[in-house]
């Protein structure tokens, strides 16, 4: 689901007791008994935050792709509650985006912004 700051703040407050916006929220669901093995989930992506951060960094489309990758990283079980875990997640997400680009996802979407 794509939402704005207000929408993600409401979700963040309702589910996590945090009255502030964030970039992405993920919800992972266990499989339904009798269904195919595996899990499913939902991602709530803050487009307002992607526009703000992406514009500041000079690469809006990359920022949005990064939020999606970050949400999927959480869905796969990764946590970012320490600086070390945050660095590990970012390395995984960057690798996924590079792989997607190598496999034909449009290059402008996945090219990293230049540092300023």
Which CATH architecture does the domain made up of 2-110 adopt?
3-Layer(aba) Sandwich (3.40)
70-98 pLDDT tens trace: 999 999 999 999 999 999 999 999 999 88
10-30 pLDDT tens trace: 999 999 999 999 999 999 988
pLDDT of residue 58: 82
Q: Does 9 have pLDDT greater than 70?
A: yes
pLDDT of residue 62: 85
pLDDT of residue 33: 78
Angle between helices 47-57 and 5-16 (to 10 degrees): 120
DSSP 87-110: HHHHHHHHHHHHHHHHTTS-HHHH
The string over 72-100, giving b where at least 16 C-beta atoms fall within 10 Å of a residue's C-beta and e elsewhere, is: bbbbeebeeeeeeeeeebeebbeebbeee
Match 């590990």 to its residue by tokens. 88
């Amino acid at each position: 689901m794509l939402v704005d700051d207000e929408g993600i703040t409401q979700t963040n407050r309702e589910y996590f007791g945090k009255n502030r916006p964030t970039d992405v929220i993920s919800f992972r669901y266990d499989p339904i008994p009798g269904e195919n093995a595996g899990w499913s989930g939902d991602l709530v992506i803050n487009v307002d935050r992607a526009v703000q951060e992406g514009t500041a960094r000079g690469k809006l489309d990359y920022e949005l792709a990064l939020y999606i990758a970050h949400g999927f990283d959480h869905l796969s079980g990764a946590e970012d509650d320490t600086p070390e875990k945050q660095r590990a997640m970012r390395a995984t997400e960057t690798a996924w985006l590079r792989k997607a680009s190598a496999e034909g996802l449009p290059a402008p979407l996945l090219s990293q912004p230049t540092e300023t």
